[in-house]
Amino acid sequence: MTDQMFAGIGAAVEYIESHLESRLDLDQVAAAAHYSKYHLHRIFSEVVGISVHEYVRRRRLTEAAGKLAGAGAPILDIALECGYESQRAFTTAFREMYKLSPAEYRRRGNFYPLQMPFSLRREISGNICSPDKIRPANPEDIPAWMELVWQTVGGYPYLTEQGYLPDLRKSIAEQRAFLWEDAGQAAGILIFSPESAAIDFIGIHPQYRKQNIFSAFLERLHMEYPYCRRFQITTYRDQDKADPGYRRDLLRLGFLPDCLLTEYDYPTQRFLLPLSPQEEFTCTRKSFYF
């Protein structure tokens, strides 16, 4: 990343974060970043993983969710504070992303972020992630791991730190948590359950998403668990507006849609990674002989 790009994206994020309660459009953000709006749209999407418009929407709704779960301010006041012109417009946008009305979300009293403030990384080494460079995580990795969790939380509705940390510590103790570092920071993380061949969590920093890190993690899983299993993972259902692109990425990797599920009261869908022809042959031989 060039110095100019780093400064421009950083200025854009800073401007958005300080003006979430105001009317925001691409022209304003581009002016703050000293870019044309067309150039900013391209590089922001490339680096952050979502468009400026989508980032603003997710950040506003996350701030609104925090206010709903906290103080008892009227919903209309929260809507106006978060840049919406009416309670009706706010309720529609909130329900699309959280699958609950603001009032229902408030009654539950738990805060679930859609998008935390983006943390732009300057130190990107350009090293290629390979299976042999992915290692089991240890307890000392938890702070760096959680920092990456919050940068990728958009893929996991209803994730809370108090619910996630005990599972993470258990996964680390059982050596089911894997990490890839770059420039001294966690760039990719994964939790796996071998009994069900389920990928329970995958997080890749947006600035690394074009490096095929997920493929490297899948190769590492095949190395760690060589017996034949079809890997599975759950993600958003088709047409869910809260999906920042996870379904698209899974399809690109060869995962196939399976059954519809509901997890933590949220509509999801299971995806399965088919066995390769060689794996099918090996499994058939094992079934024949054993």
**Which own/partner pairs from 187-193 qualify as long-range (CB within 8 Å, at least 24 positions apart)?**
187/129, 187/148, 187/213, 188/129, 188/134, 188/148, 188/213, 188/214, 188/216, 188/217, 189/137, 189/145, 189/148, 189/149, 190/217, 190/221, 191/167, 192/221, 192/224, 192/225
Predicted pLDDT of residue 23? 82
Q: Where are the domains of the chain?
A: 3-108, 131-289
Predicted pLDDT of residue 285? 40
Predicted pLDDT of residue 199? 97
Structure tokens that stand for 204 in this block: 């890749």
Matching residue, tokens 């088709």: 238
- DSSP letters of 120-173? --S----PPP-GGG-EE--GGGHHHHHHHHHHSGGGSTT--HHHHHHHHHHHHH
Matching residue, tokens 């995962």: 255
Predicted pLDDT of residue 283? 46
CATH class label, 131-289: alpha beta
Label the pairing between strands 198-204 and 266-272. Answer: unpaired
Predicted pLDDT of residue 245? 92
Positions in the chain short of pLDDT 70: 228, 276-290
Predicted pLDDT of residue 278? 55
Predicted pLDDT of residue 276? 63
Predicted TM-score (pTM) above 0.75: yes
- Gap between the Cα atoms of 168 and 94, Å rounded: 29
Q: What is the CATH number of domain 3-108?
A: 1.10.10.60
